[in-house]
């Protein structure tokens, strides 16, 4: 957990990841796993309520309810749609209100 958000009387824990630039094949790949003392710790949806991914080169933040994240090592985001990929589109995840509505239900 990197920070805490207070919204409408509820407290939410947020994990923040960042990606510096667009990678190969036109996708941003956020590393969710962490390595400390030669031990790999995979992302766990139980560790936070919200995952925020900052895309440095386009200055956007994508927000996910931790229950939406089904991968443990990395998360890929695509800038434009493709017929050959099921990666998430950046613009579909820039609203924090979308995440709060998921968490409220």
**Does the pLDDT at position 86 exceed 90?**
no
As a whole number, mean pLDDT of residues 41-52 equals 93
Q: Give me the domain span that covers residue 14.
A: 3-104
**pLDDT given at position 1:** 78
**pLDDT given at position 34:** 87
Domain count for the chain: 1
The residue with greater pLDDT, 83 or 12, is: 12
pLDDT, one tens digit per residue, over 28-42 is 999 999 888 989 989
C-alpha torsion 39→30→66→4, nearest 10:
80
Distance CA 34, CA 62 (A): 19
**Does the pLDDT at position 54 exceed 70?**
yes
pLDDT, one tens digit per residue, over 16-28 is 999 999 988 889 9
As a whole number, mean pLDDT of residues 48-77 equals 94
Determine how many CB atoms are found less than 10 A away from the CB of residue 23. Answer: 12
C-alpha torsion 51→16→27→33, nearest 10:
-90
pTM for the model:
0.88
Residue (of 64, 50, 52, 57) closest to 28 by Cα position: 57
As a whole number, mean pLDDT of residues 65-83 equals 85
């Amino acid at each position: 957990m990197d920070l805490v958000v207070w919204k409408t009387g509820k407290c939410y824990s947020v994990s923040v990841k960042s990606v510096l630039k667009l990678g190969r094949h036109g996708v941003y790949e956020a590393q969710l796993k962490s390595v400390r003392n030669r031990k790999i710790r995979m992302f766990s949806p139980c560790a936070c309520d919200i995952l925020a991914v900052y895309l440095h080169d386009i200055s956007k933040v994508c927000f996910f309810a931790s229950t939406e994240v089904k991968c443990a090592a990395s998360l890929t985001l695509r800038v434009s749609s493709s017929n050959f990929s099921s990666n998430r589109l950046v613009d579909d995840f820039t609203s924090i209100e979308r995440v709060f509505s998921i968490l409220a239900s």
